[in-house]
Structure 1
Amino acid sequence: MNLQGWRLTTLVTCLIVVGLLFNFGLAGWNAPAIHQAIDATGRSSLILFAIAFTSSSLESLWPSSLSRWTLRNRRWIGLSFASSHFIHLGLIVSMTVLFPDPFVSQQSMAQWVFGGLAYGFVFLMALTSTDQAQHWMGMKNWKRLHFVGSHWIWVLFLLTYVKHVKEGPLGFYLPFLVFTLALIPIRYAKHIPPKAPLGASM
């Protein structure tokens, strides 16, 4: 694939923005339309996060030209996720300021705190997605930040879709919850040692 680097992140961001403009062009700038946009950008963020989160495992488990491309562009897919998620944040802020009732009352303090910390990780991980940052931080500290941050973000997605499943519609949100749960076994499947062949000496 010829789509690489910043062109990938720019294209993904433009597609999300165009989709939102189309949505608001049809529905207008109102609470239901913004709520739909919040849900849509949450799903785009989940998909982009999932690709970046599992790319090395997918290449190890099911190598293909597509898995090699995603692994090679994992940084830019991760930055595409950050772009999508900050657009998501902008929509949440718009909803909070312009149409606070009943949106704000439906969010718990834990959601604001937990989500705020997740956005802190998204910002730091995007900021340090360069070779220079890896050199400045040291690979050990860089890996620690991205390990903790990515798993914190995964937990946020998990809790979000648990809440959506409870509120419904179940048939729509349950696949996203199952998809989110599946990311962890996929991520760590490559670390499971292969079974010894039957009849192999102990």
Structure 2
Amino acid sequence: MTPTAPTASLHGWRLFTALAVAVLAVTALCLLWQPQLVEALRSAIRATARTSFALFLATFLASALATLVPSPGSRALLRERRFLGLAFAFSHLVHGVLIIAYVKLFPETFWAGRTAAANIPGSVGYLFILALALTSFPAAVKALGARTWKLLHGTGTWVIAGIFCLSFFKRIPMGPWYVLGFALIFSAIVLKLTAKLATRQRRATPALRGATR
């Protein structure tokens, strides 16, 4: 599940389209593979949760990798971060539509052992995903102002990362996939914080050298 850099010919909206088609293809395969609709929906929900997580990791780690492991690949990943983020939003939109279908068709199964409070983190996550997707265009940056835009996107990505972390942590007893997911998002958070610390140190070094002259 390690993010890979987009090729030179696959960038921008082409990259987004390719990723969106891949998400839809995975969803269709899951729905067609299972003969029973309830199991087909569950399978598709799990699959889109994983595609969303993979795309979020690539988006979340793009700047950190460019800082800590500068290379043509990490720089390309950073350049495509906006489209990776939009692909993540699309994948999670499909994920949400599948959940709504599951709730409508099989409410007794969905709500078994679940409370309304359990849906609060996910609902908050969707609100931030919507806000980030809608403001991922130059016109939004201009309208909000660079400082407000940066604050919104910085806060939003950390909130989503925290929700993924909490979601995987709560489900660790349910299977090894959740252990892996938690380990990946926890490692990504540590890597992101390490990159931020490295950036601050690099900025502070010239000032420190100037003060000692």
TM-score (norm 1): 0.90
Match of 1:75 among 75, 82, 91: 82
Distance in 1 (CA, whole Å) between partners of 2:27 and 2:195 is: 37
Match of 1:173 among 171, 174, 178: 178
Contact residue 31 and residue 43 of structure 2 kept, 8 A: no
Residues 1:84 and 2:91 aligned together: yes
The count of residues paired between Structure 1 and Structure 2 equals: 195
Q: Which has the higher contact order (CA 8 A, sep 6+)?
A: 1
Residues 1:95 and 2:102 aligned together: yes
Amino acid at match of 1:117: V
Identity %: 31
Q: Give how far 1:158 is off.
A: 1.1
Q: Deviations over 1:138-158 (max 9, x none)?
A: 011111111121111111111
Distance in 2 (CA, whole Å) between partners of 1:152 and 1:191 is: 17
Residues 1:191 and 2:196 aligned together: yes
Matches within 5 A, 1:21-60: 21-28=28-35, 30-60=37-67
Residues 1:182 and 2:175 aligned together: no
Match of 2:114 among 107, 111, 118: 107
RMSD: 1.9
Detail structure 1 runs of 4+ shifted over 6 Å in the superposition. Answer: none
Q: Deviations over 1:113-137 (max 9, x none)?
A: 2211211110110000011111110
Distance in 1 (CA, whole Å) between partners of 2:86 and 2:113 is: 30
Match of 2:140 among 118, 133, 146: 133
What is the SS of the residue equivalent to 1:191? helix
Distance in 2 (CA, whole Å) between partners of 1:133 and 1:29 is: 44
2:20 is matched with which residue?
A: 13
Q: Give how far 1:29 is off.
A: 5.5
Distance in 1 (CA, whole Å) between partners of 2:158 and 2:112 is: 27
Contact residue 32 and residue 40 of structure 2 kept, 8 A: no
1:199 is matched with which residue?
A: none
- Structure 2 vs 1, CA of residues 33 and 163 (structure 1 numbering), >3 Å: closer, same or farther? farther
- Unaligned runs of 5+ residues in structure 2 are 1-7, 206-211
Distance in 1 (CA, whole Å) between partners of 2:160 and 2:35 is: 31
